[in-house]
Amino acid sequence: MSSERQARGLGMGLSALLGEAARPEAPVAAGGVREIEIARIRPNPNQPRIRFDEESIQELADSIAERGVLQPILLRPEGQDAYQIIAGERRWRAAQKAQLHTIPAIVREGIDEATTAELALIENIQREDLNAIEEAEAYRQLINRYGHGQEQVGKLVHKSRSHVANLLRLLDLPEYVKQSLLQGDISMGHARAVAAAPDPAELTREIVAKGLSVRQAEARARRAKQGPKELVLTAERKVDADLVALERQLGDMLGLKVEVTHKGAGGTVVLTYRSLDQLDLICQRLSGEPI
């Protein structure tokens, strides 16, 4: 399958594979979903997630024990009488904790290992389940393994090219900084702030030790890079800097271009999207509905 053909097919999202069952509230076509024994299911060895939050999985397991699995997982046949997960490993792990013997699943024939790996990357990114480092690694895999450019990756996962580029830059940070981000000791905003510092690892240690906010980290990065005398800002420039920081934080969270305009006591927030699929993702994230 050519890179162009893969991009067109995968760009339709997992809903193209899941059909209407991609939304738990939608009716499922007869025969589309079936119960598969959990013991016959294997995880995807190319799963992009590095860490699984056990507390989060336990919460999901408690929900599954009470209400069942609301959304089927996606599988492909693997060998004789076995299956490999394409999407839904968290639900599979949680179902085991809930002591279920079977789980609702959709089985798709004819999906090869490469496409399975790529779909797993895209599914995790679209669901916002990944840490920033894991997401950046997923983007790098899509670029290096499948030959996609940053613009194409952005279209596949319905995020802006600048968001993809910003995350990829995180992979150039020192190992200590990346591990701190991976473990949740610092946020993506912190990581972007320390990237501008002469010694990112030293500033990261200060952030962790003192519990610095993103704006405090940005101020320390500027101080270390420019010197105190150059940091005398007028009130207007400080407001502008705060708005830029806010735009970056919102952009990082949504994966979109965000513009904030503030006048007097109010203002506007503008989100830029390029497709109806991207708009749909924005609505779901803002409403808290499952993607």
Q: Write out the catalytic residue numbers.
A: 89
Extract the tokens encoding 261.
Answer: 């305009």
Run of H or E including 254: helix 235-254
Written in H, E and C, the secondary structure of 56-93 is HHHHHHHHHHHHCCCCCEEEEECCCCCEEEEECHHHHH
CA 19 vs CA 25, 30, 153, 220: distances in Å: 12, 12, 22, 50
Q: Spell out the long-range contacts of 62-68 with Cβ–Cβ below 8 A and sequence spacing 24 or more.
A: 62/98, 63/94, 64/91, 64/94, 64/95, 64/98, 64/100, 65/98, 65/99
